[in-house]
Amino acid sequence: MFKQLQKRLTLTYSLSFFLTLAVLFVILYFVFQSMIYQSAAEQVEEVARDRATAIGEGHRPEGERFEDPLYLSAIFSENGDDLIYEWQFPDDLRDDFAGRIADRDFSGLIKTRSSVSREDVLIYAIKPVSNVHGSASGYLLVARGMGETHELVERWFRLLVGLGIAAASLSLLIAHFLARRAVRPIQQNYEKQRAFVANASHELRTPLSVFSASLEYFEAEEKQRLSASSKETLRDLKAEVGEMTTLIRHLLTLAKADRNKLAVLQSDFDVLNVFRSVIPYYRQKAQRENKSWISDLPDRPLIVHANPVEIKELLTIFLDNAIKYTKAHDALALKAWTEKDGRTFCFEVRDSGIGISETDQEHIYDRFYRAEKGRARQSGGSGLGLSIARELVDAYKGEIRLTGKVKEGTVFQICLPILKQL
């Protein structure tokens, strides 16, 4: 239980830590990329604006070269079809930029390939060139190669990915440490509570046994002299002692389950003998309460490898519930069989009682949970039976299947891989 809690906490902590770092890294990457490209774009815009102004004032660019060799420039005609002047401008980009001028796409990024087939990125700006009379005479294109900058951004991206992987590993270690520290006090308190329940249950068994035996002796000795009200009080006392004894037995079973002590002492036995020892009691009880009873057991012996006490307790839990949550004229049925795999033993307890709602079906295996609280108080019980059944079935790596609806009855099917291989 605590290992699963620790795993969930570790996963939650590490995922939260990693997602926080991942979001931070993504923001840093895009901010860094935006700053670099924005700075370059502003430089290109400034150069294009200055050169367009200079050309419009009559300055001729023939033979000029920009100081920065990364700048490429050219002048297109007014309609963008003809290349009038060019400096360091590749011919394979002419048609591309002519199309952008025609589409009035005057700034942005474009990808190209250099002479060594290396992919490059260009930031460009296109400015109209006007003559001294104010009429447009063409467009000045200025572009800057961003290959090295693009590689820098890619290296930054790879660095952040590497840091993210390292952060994920670190987050797992930190989350595991924090989860252990968070679970430790819970586990210590739980261990103290579990030890108290186990010790208290052990200590209560003896006085309850003495009290029960004393009531039996008192009833045998004084039965003839007791009044009707005294007899009813005696019956109530015996019923309460029985409930307390069952509760203590259940608490001890849960204490064993918490210590992983269920399904430890196992032996080979005929499981149908255990069933036959239990059936007469429940058949008679059903008849006294005017309920029908049907049992369907195989004729041949079924040898299983398990703890007979635990299998008997598992069966009685479901039969007790079937008796408690049915009324007069309801039907109860017990059936047992083996699966085709030759190693799984199954039994079914069916009743036509009050049923279990879908909401309650999600919680009936929780400790001390009881559906139909008012009726449960009338029928007795502590809400531990089905939680113990779940612990026993899990200890044998079995399965519980529940079907049924409110006012239509309930069907529990229990399958355990305990058949002895012959």
Tens digits of residue pLDDT in 102-119: 788 888 877 776 555 566
Q: Find where tokens 């035996």 sit.
A: 213
- The pLDDT of residue 374 is 47
E strand or H helix that includes residue 269? strand 267-270
| Rounded-to-integer distance, Cα 276 and Cα 407, Å | 29
Q: Can you say how many angstroms the Cα of residue 23 is from the centroid of all Cα atoms in its chain?
A: 23
- Intra-chain end-to-end CA distance of the chain, in Å: 36
| Rounded-to-integer distance, Cα 363 and Cα 355, Å | 14
- pTM for the whole structure: 0.54
Contact 183, 159 (CB under 8 A): no
In degrees and rounded to multiples of 5, residue 355 shows phi and psi of 80, 180
Please, what's the b/e burial string for 137-162 (b: 16 or more CB within 10 A of its CB; e: otherwise)?
A: bbbbbbbbbbeebbeebeeeeeebee
HEC profile for 289-308?
Answer: CCCEEEEECCCCCCEEEECH
Helix, strand, or coil (residue 364): coil
**What does the DSSP 8-state code read for residue 92?**
G
| Rounded-to-integer distance, Cα 156 and Cα 219, Å | 89
- The pLDDT of residue 346 is 95
Q: How far is CA 377 from CA 254, 312, 365, 411, in A?
A: 22, 25, 18, 22
User: Do the strands 331-338 and 345-351 form a parallel or antiparallel pair, or are they unpaired?
Assistant: antiparallel
- The pLDDT of residue 105 is 83
- The pLDDT of residue 344 is 94
Q: How far is CA 91 from CA 70, 72, 95, 96, in A?
A: 16, 12, 8, 10
Using alpha carbons, select from 135, 81, 146, 70 the residue that is nearest to residue 108.
Answer: 146
List alpha helices for 345-399, DSSP H.
358-361, 373-379, 385-395
CATH number corresponding to 263-416: 3.30.565.10
| Rounded-to-integer distance, Cα 61 and Cα 83, Å | 14
Neighbouring CB atoms inside 10 A of 44's CB total 20
- The pLDDT of residue 334 is 95
Q: Indicate the domain borders of the chain.
A: 2-155, 263-416
Long-range CB contacts for residues 6-13, cutoff 8 Å, separation at least 24? 6/176, 6/179, 6/180, 6/183, 7/179, 9/175, 9/178, 9/179, 9/182, 9/183, 10/172, 10/175, 10/176, 10/179, 11/175, 12/175, 13/171, 13/174, 13/175, 13/178, 13/179
Tell me the sheet residues that pair with 334. 295, 349
| Rounded-to-integer distance, Cα 45 and Cα 33, Å | 18
- The pLDDT of residue 68 is 45
User: Do the strands 267-270 and 83-87 form a parallel or antiparallel pair, or are they unpaired?
Assistant: unpaired
| Rounded-to-integer distance, Cα 233 and Cα 191, Å | 39
- The pLDDT of residue 196 is 63
- Residues 33-60 have pLDDT tens digits of 788 788 888 888 888 888 777 776 666 5
| Rounded-to-integer distance, Cα 209 and Cα 195, Å | 22
CATH number corresponding to 2-155: 3.30.450.20
Q: Give 10-residue mean pLDDT values along the chain (422 residues).
A: 71 78 80 80 82 71 47 66 60 74 80 62 80 63 75 78 79 78 72 64 71 80 81 82 77 73 86 94 93 93 92 93 90 93 93 86 78 52 80 92 88 93 66
CA-CA-CA-CA dihedral for 102, 103, 109, 110, to nearest 10: -60
**What does the DSSP 8-state code read for residue 401?**
E
